[in-house]
Amino acid sequence: MRSRRPRSPESRQLGYLVNEEICRAPGCVACRVFGWHSGSRTVRIRGSLNRSPHGFEAGLFHPELGNEALGGRMFVAGIQLQFQSEAFSVEIPVASLAVEFEDGGKVVVFSDARNPEVRMFTRDQSILRHLAIRSLPGVASVLGRREATRALRLTLYFAAGCVLALWLGSLAMSLMARAVVARIPMEWEQKIGAREIEKLQKHGSLLDDPNSVAQLAALASPLIQALPAGRRDWKFYIANDRAPNAFALPGGYVVVSTGFLEMADQPEEILGVLAHELAHQTKRHAMRRCLAAAGPVVIFGLFIHSNSGMGNLLAAGSGLMVYEGFSKDYEMEADATGWNYLVAANIDPRGMIRALQKLEAWEGAPGLRPLAPEAFQSHPATEKRIARLESQWKKLGRKSDFLDLAPVKWTFKETVTN
């Protein structure tokens, strides 16, 4: 380490040249290009000490200066780190530099390992990128850690951005799908439902038992009256199926299996399941699922343009609409909406809970595997659904004076329509 005080502007011993003549010469390249003006003088650092003519803003602690820090600039000059101010100049060979970080890494402190009392410091972190500095022990590891932190932060930002974009995308798709579905004419849904009922009849799946069907329709009547206006026209069918099952088809068709009607001891249980299935249709879940399966490009196209092409899409997806299970979100919405229909119809909504408990027990029974009943399908979290509904019951303000429904005795006529 060397420290010297400048004695005169002409001194060349300080490691820099102060020469007023250079500045005053017309067209001085150093002045014009580098602009190294300092008051009326031009200060030129000998031998192009630093790539940046301005160096790094720095401070210096030195035994000769007492406890005060001296402000100046720091330069990396070849194999030396220099501190310069108007009155003081210090150089430390890079080879004997010790580096520390203070103030949470914001201040870089350089000292001479051979004379630790001389300390230069800067807040300008860009000095660490200088070739001679970044290879110093202690600097490389800090830069590595900072780079890793930065990379991690960037990755996290990117991941968060992707999640946000996906969420916004799915939200936009969902809103567009709803808007598109709202434009689908009811007659189209009726056609799809009617075609599926026809297929079930052809397969001999439906009972030709008008009395039982009338009983079912009469039982469902108070519930149907609680549905939104324009959604109160439903046709009932009984499927000849020992497995408990119930589903509603687009266009206002409800199919309930003999197995389910026999399993339900109380009419509220039947109405609970019906409320859930009707909610799937009033919320047009089948249509929304069909659109979702068609993909975002089709949804966007239908949203922007007209209904052209939607007919083909729905015809192609009608199987999907009718017999595929619903997503967890749709199931939850159907439970919540159905529950509200029951409450609005003054029907004890606990029937929905009891029906689910029975369905769960049936699902778990050995040797019995459901074929594809909607009432069970894609309801793997039946326990969760029951818990959710039980908490709904706890929150319900009115817990008595529900409709007094007489149990129905089912005697099915074992003939099928075709």
Give me the least distance between CB of 329 and Zn ion, in Å please: 11
Q: What is the CA radius of gyration of the chain?
A: 41
44 or 285: CB nearest Zn ion: 285
Specify the stretch interacting with Zn ion by CB under 5 A; choose among 68-76, 207-215, 330-338, 340-348.
Answer: 330-338
70 or 286: CB nearest Zn ion: 286
Give me the least distance between CB of 231 and Zn ion, in Å please: 17
Specify the stretch interacting with Zn ion by CB under 5 A; choose among 133-141, 196-204, 291-299, 334-342.
Answer: 334-342
85 or 377: CB nearest Zn ion: 377
CB 348 within 8 A of CB 268: yes
Specify the stretch interacting with Zn ion by CB under 5 A; choose among 15-23, 223-231, 314-322, 331-339.
Answer: 331-339
d(CA 241, CA 248): 16
Q: Residue ranges of the alpha helices (H) in 76-138?
A: 131-134
CB 294 within 8 A of CB 177: no
Binding mask 122-151 for Zn ion (x = CB under 5 A): ------------------------------
41 or 354: CB nearest Zn ion: 354
Give me the least distance between CB of 310 and Zn ion, in Å please: 24
Which residue(s) pair with 239 in the sheet? 206, 257
CB-facing half-sphere around the CA of 371: CA atoms within 13 A: 9
97 or 278: CB nearest Zn ion: 278
Specify the stretch interacting with Zn ion by CB under 5 A; choose among 72-80, 93-101, 329-337, 396-404.
Answer: 329-337
d(CA 82, CA 80): 6
Give me the least distance between CB of 280 and Zn ion, in Å please: 6
d(CA 306, CA 399): 48
Give me the least distance between CB of 194 and Zn ion, in Å please: 22
59 or 251: CB nearest Zn ion: 251
d(CA 389, CA 356): 10
d(CA 116, CA 63): 10
Specify the stretch interacting with Zn ion by CB under 5 A; choose among 50-58, 60-68, 141-149, 327-335.
Answer: 327-335
Give me the least distance between CB of 333 and Zn ion, in Å please: 9
Give me the least distance between CB of 278 and Zn ion, in Å please: 11
10 or 329: CB nearest Zn ion: 329
Closest CA to 406 of 277, 271, 276: 271
Closest CA to 321 of 218, 215, 233, 249: 249
Size of residue set near Zn ion by CB under 5 A: 2
Closest CA to 375 of 262, 277, 234: 277
d(CA 229, CA 112): 87
- Segment 46-65, which members bind Zn ion (CB under 5 A)? none
Q: Residue ranges of the alpha helices (H) in 122-228?
A: 131-134, 139-182, 186-202, 210-225
Binding site for Zn ion (CB under 5 A): 331, 334
